[in-house]
Amino acid sequence: MPLHERIIPYLETAGLYHLARLNSQWFWVDEPLDVAYQLGLPIDGEPVSGCLSEFENFMENGRPAWERFRVLPADATDDIVRIYARAYIMMLLSSQLFADKNANRVHLRWLPYVASLDDLGRYSWGSAVLAWLYRCLCRGTNRNVVNLAGPLQLLQSWIFWRFPCLRPSDFNRFGFPLASR
């Protein structure tokens, strides 16, 4: 799903624009870990927790509402832009921050967060992503696991930062968040 300029203000409000910008540049998955420094995600705020209790509010004709999105129409109204912003944020959450091994599914737990775009920026996404990474790394130690899931951009950025011999040649130029180098 391409990043449209009209969605950017909503991503900025949600504190997720740095992550979206990483995807539009070169970054692909190829002391204390500070997620704010690595990915530019907020670490102060309310915890990201809870469960979905009103699933039917997020369905349209028996299908999840976000399945119909591809490219934002040029003549989109502000309401349509907000809908696409929600879909884009769902894509970021499910494919970049909280990815499963297939990276092709959206977990329902994120729907309540995107319901109110104005409230997205008050959550500590960085803390939740770090916890998810630790959970995925823990699961990865099982001898039957062959693929690693989770926020692999965060892991790769941390590896490049902590192990200079593994960095790409152009990693040393300044950039924030670190992963955008």
Q: What is the mean pLDDT of residues 39-51?
A: 76
* Least confident window among 4-8, 93-97, 106-110, 152-156: 106-110
Q: What is the mean pLDDT of residues 114-133?
A: 89
The dihedrals phi and psi of 115, each to the nearest 5 degrees, come to -60, -40
The pLDDT score that the predictor gives to residue 8 is 92
Task: Give residue 89's domain range.
Answer: 5-166
Q: Is residue 133 in some structural domain?
A: yes
User: How would residue 23 be classed by pLDDT, with cut points 50, 70 and 90?
Assistant: low
Task: Give the pLDDT band (50/70/90) at residue 115.
Answer: confident
Residue 177 lies in a domain: no
Q: Within a domain: residue 161?
A: yes
Question: What is the rounded average pLDDT of the residues 87-98?
Answer: 86
pLDDT of 33: 44
Q: Residue 171 falls within a domain, yes or no?
A: no
In 3D space, the residue among 115, 103, 134, 113 whose CA is nearest the CA of residue 42 turns out to be 113
Residue 175 lies in a domain: no
Q: CA-to-CA distance for 40 and 178, rounded, in angstroms?
A: 8
Is the pLDDT assigned to residue 11 strictly greater than 80? yes
pLDDT (0 to 100) of residue 154: 86
Helices (H), 25-144: 35-39, 78-92, 111-114, 125-140
167-180 tens-digit pLDDT: 877 766 656 676 66
Higher pLDDT, 60 or 145: 145
pLDDT beyond 70 at 27? no
> Do residues 179 and 39 make contact, with C-beta atoms less than 8 angstroms apart?
yes
- 179 lies in some domain: no
Percentage of residues in the chain having pLDDT higher than 90: 10
* 118/95: higher pLDDT: 118
Beta carbons of 50 and 112 less than 8 angstroms apart:
yes
Q: Are 172 and 181 in contact (CB under 8 A)?
A: yes
Count up the domains in the chain and report the number.
1
- In this prediction, what percent of the chain has a pLDDT beyond 70? 73
pLDDT digits (tens, 9 = 90+) for 30-44: 433 477 767 778 777
**Is the residue at 90 inside a domain?**
yes
Residue 37 domain flag: yes
